[in-house]
Amino acid sequence: MSEFDVVVLGAGSAGELIANGAAMAGLRVGLVEAHLVGGECPYVACVPSKAMLRSAEVRHLIQRAHELGASGNAIDSGDDERAFMAAVTRRDVLSDHGSDEGAVRNLAENGVVLLRGRGVITGSGRIDVNGTEYLWSELVIATGSIANRPQIEGIDDVPVWTSDQALTSHDQPKSILILGGGPVGCELAQTYARFGVEVTLAESADQLLVNENPTIADVLADVLRSDGVDIQLGVNVDSMRRVASDTEVHLDDGTSLIVEQVIIAVGRHPNTDGLGLDHLGIELKEGAIATEPGGRVVGQQHVWAAGDVTGAAPFTHTANYQGRIIVTNLTGGAAVGDYRAVPRAVYTEPPVASVGLTVELAHLQGMDAHSASVELTSVVRATTDASSTGRLVLVADRKRGLLVGAAGIGGHCDEWIGELTLAIRAEIPLEVLADVIHAFPTFSEIIEAPLRELVLG
């Protein structure tokens, strides 16, 4: 029976990083994975979605070439279907055609033993992988998350994609309904709309990006509408039924529509079913595995968890952060996580980015919170780039004189949010932040005016 110092259950972003890191530190590591090493991000999520968004953005810019002074006359961006197939071809190249051969080779070079199959915990120090039992001294659970599937009458009888399927398919439907106005739904909506697809986006809440600042969400809604997306807020789907080769969808506001394809983007939940957690006495907290700041599972001495399965800020960058903490601690360190400043981004054009707390959440935490906002038109770079759509909202704790939250939409917002992320994480005083000089003309100048307003109180 093979024995490992560390067995990592799940080879997504966190699991792959932990396995490689622990093995390179000299530990005997087994990595259990039934599907792709690297998880969804490189093959069916982050990389393909951003590749398609970039192609859609360039196509949109071509259509604006005359307006931007790049052409003496309007430029025809070409046939929608041919352009879509060109984008798909590029997408597939960048995502290695869904092959994890390179990642598997890298594991072997680092000394990781890849155990192909589904892993089930059978007891303390034991795990079964497709009928073979292995021993472990330390176990890391990094099984990620799976897409939610809403309970809708008729949904099993019609063609439905998850976002994973949408980002791997070569098909270009003529019309789609996207269920869910979160980051994934908004990104897919803009991508398809800019390739000539008739897009309807239905969100049960009264705004897109339900956990973000409403004024930022409203700007994004206007952007998507300008791309031709029909946004339906505050509605739910009552039922679906097949009509010839299409799907008839009935909404709870009494309206209906017929589309060629339905895409489900209503969030994800931790992947914990069937792992054998009960054999270790691990109980879930709101469906997720609760961990201590250093990555150990609560109540466990030799079991750790990282990534979406923990329910903490379910992003690839969070998974990588947690992975680095666990590698440090598995090899004798004493690292702890700090989640006050985890950036969130939606990679539409223009992008949305946020970090920290909204003013409402800050109040709930007992802070003397106040906010300041500014439009992107206040900076010269927005004018020169003809990219004036945007807004920034900052939230500060008046008592401590610290920034505690930021939310924005606008040109390169996903990049300049990094300065505000650092400010929150390092607790840089507002007076210092307001005194920082930004290069002129840049989008990051938008930070200055609301900071000065917050300083003045």
CATH numbers and ranges of domains, the chain: 3-38+100-146+269-330 (3.50.50.60), 155-266 (3.50.50.60), 344-456 (3.30.390.30)
pLDDT for the residue 238: 96
User: Distance of CA 293 to CAs 54, 67, 320, 405, 436, Å?
Assistant: 36, 52, 15, 21, 32
- Each residue's pLDDT tens digit, 123-168: 999 999 999 999 999 999 999 999 999 999 999 999 999 999 999 9
Q: Are residues 391 and 378 in contact, defined by beta-carbon separation less than 8 angstroms?
A: no
pLDDT in tens, the chain (457 residues): 699 999 999 999 999 999 999 999 999 999 999 999 999 999 999 999 999 999 999 999 999 999 999 999 999 999 999 999 999 999 999 999 999 999 999 999 999 999 999 999 999 999 999 999 999 999 999 999 999 999 999 999 999 999 999 999 999 999 999 999 999 999 999 999 999 999 999 999 999 999 999 999 999 999 999 999 999 999 999 999 999 999 999 999 999 999 999 999 999 999 999 999 999 999 999 999 999 999 999 999 999 999 999 999 999 999 999 999 999 999 999 999 999 999 999 999 999 999 999 999 999 999 999 999 999 999 999 999 999 899 999 999 999 999 999 999 999 999 999 999 999 999 999 999 999 999 999 999 999 999 999 998 7
pLDDT number for residue 457: 75
Query: For residue 303, what is the enclosing H or E element?
Result: strand 303-305
Reported as a single tens digit per residue, the pLDDT across 314-358 is 999 999 999 999 999 999 999 999 999 999 999 999 999 999 999
Look up residue 298 and give its DSSP letter. Answer: T
> How far, in Å, CA of 287 to CA of 302, rounded?
21
Q: Which residues have a Cβ under 8 Å from the Cβ of 447 and sit 6 or more positions away?
A: 392, 394, 416, 419, 420, 433, 436, 438
Give the residue from 218, 209, 200 showing the smallest Cα distance to 255: 200
Q: What burial class does residue 238 get, using C-beta atoms within 10 Å of its C-beta: 0-12 exposed, 13-18 middle, 19+ buried?
A: middle
Find out whether 198 and 175 touch, Cβ atoms under 8 Å.
Answer: yes
State the amino acid at position 295 in one-letter form.
G
- What are the beta bridge partners of residue 408? 353, 392
Degrees, nearest 5: CA angle 208-213-217: 30
